[in-house]
Amino acid sequence: MIRKHNQEGKIYPSIIHPVFSPDSKHLAFIASNKLTPSPGFFVVLDGSEKKTYYSIGRVVFSPDSQRLAYTAQAKPLEKEFIVLDDREIPAMVAGIVFSPDSKRLIDISSAEVYDKVGYPVSSPDGKHLAYRVEDTKRGEFIVLDGQKGNAYDLVASPVFSPDSKHLVYIAGKQGKYFVVVDGREGEVFDEIYGYGSPEYIQTTKPIFSEDSKYIGYGARKGNELWWVRDEIKE
């Protein structure tokens, strides 16, 4: 069940990935009416249920909050496609994002072929796009607005600042971990939010201050646990 403005919505056995539109006026999430064996998933937009599919990927609003897109799969082992404004569009899907003017979708799989591409993240102003890439020849790296960053053993959790001017992500090299802010490597630690420790499964992203001047994240150096607060250099 999703609660919005203190109003309780319909109860579903399964609800995942709730997301607000950029203007905060619309709410979408993925739901299912069954738990097993083949549940079938559908998007719920402002309380209205969309078509049911075998699986559904990440839901994306356009920057102007007027359009909705997501990836879906009709049956097991079939190819994924894009659902845009309730229309099914065949496409080779790696990840999708709207253009800044909200008029078209960008399928990042068409840019260059990689071994694996993570979900794209867009800046709050809709002008920048970043995503994680795994490449057997280079390693892992972040692509920002089509430009490849430095390659590392691991990269994860790209996050834009509230003012859309900065990008931070976690990187690892030779068993050590650090954050990268606007391409600059930060202090080296044994672990950052679980990276470097095999018993951790999930991690927490670095966070920006509201004025975009600082980032904060948890880290470990030896037996010491740190909360790191770094000032962003212009």
When pLDDT is averaged across residues 60-74 and rounded to a whole number, the result is 88
Three state DSSP letters for the chain:
CCEECCEECCCCCEEEEEEECCCCCCEEEEEECCCCCCCCEEEEECCEECCCECEEEEEEECCCCCCEEEEEECCCCCCCEEEECCEEEECCCCCEEECCCCCCEEEHHHCCCCCEECCCEECCCCCCEEEEEEECCCEEEEEECCEECCCECEEEEEEECCCCCCEEEEEEECCEEEEEECCEECCCECEECCECCCCCCCCCCCEECCCCCEEEEEEEECCEEEEEEEECCC
How much of the chain exceeds pLDDT 70, in percent? 81
Q: How confident is the model at residue 37 (pLDDT cuts 50, 70, 90)?
A: low
Q: What is the pLDDT of residues 116-142, one digit of tens each?
A: 777 678 788 777 878 888 888 889 999
What confidence score (pLDDT) does residue 26 get? 92
Kindly tell me if the per-residue pLDDT of 29 is higher than 80.
Answer: yes
- pTM for the full model? 0.59
Q: Is the peptide bond before 120 cis (omega within 30 degrees of 0)?
A: no
When pLDDT is averaged across residues 3-20 and rounded to a whole number, the result is 75
Between the CA of residue 129 and those of 136, 169, 198, what are the distances in Å?
A: 23, 13, 30
Please state, as a whole number, how many other Cβ atoms lie within 10 Å of the Cβ of residue 125: 14
What confidence score (pLDDT) does residue 106 get? 66
When pLDDT is averaged across residues 46-65 and rounded to a whole number, the result is 89
Q: How confident is the model at residue 75 (pLDDT cuts 50, 70, 90)?
A: confident
From 166, 154, 182, select the one nearest 123 (Cα to Cα).
166
How much of the chain exceeds pLDDT 90, in percent? 31
Domain boundaries, the chain: 1-94, 111-234
What confidence score (pLDDT) does residue 49 get? 93
When pLDDT is averaged across residues 86-104 and rounded to a whole number, the result is 73
Residues 6+ apart with CB under 8 A from 25: 65
From 53, 60, 57, 51, select the one nearest 28 (Cα to Cα).
60
Average pLDDT, the chain: 81
Q: How confident is the model at residue 6 (pLDDT cuts 50, 70, 90)?
A: low
Kindly tell me if the per-residue pLDDT of 52 is higher than 90.
Answer: yes
Query: Which of 35-44, 104-113, 179-188 holds the top average pLDDT?
Result: 179-188
Give the phi and the psi of residue 224 in degrees, each rounded to 5: -100, 135
Half-sphere CA count of 139, side-chain side, radius 13 A: 15
Tell me how far apart the alpha carbons of residues 42 and 72 are, in angstroms, rounded to a whole number: 9
Kindly tell me if the per-residue pLDDT of 203 is higher than 70.
Answer: no
Tokens (6 digits) for 19: 């997301």
When pLDDT is averaged across residues 91-104 and rounded to a whole number, the result is 68
Kindly tell me if the per-residue pLDDT of 215 is higher than 90.
Answer: yes
Kindly tell me if the per-residue pLDDT of 143 is higher than 80.
Answer: yes
What confidence score (pLDDT) does residue 202 get? 39
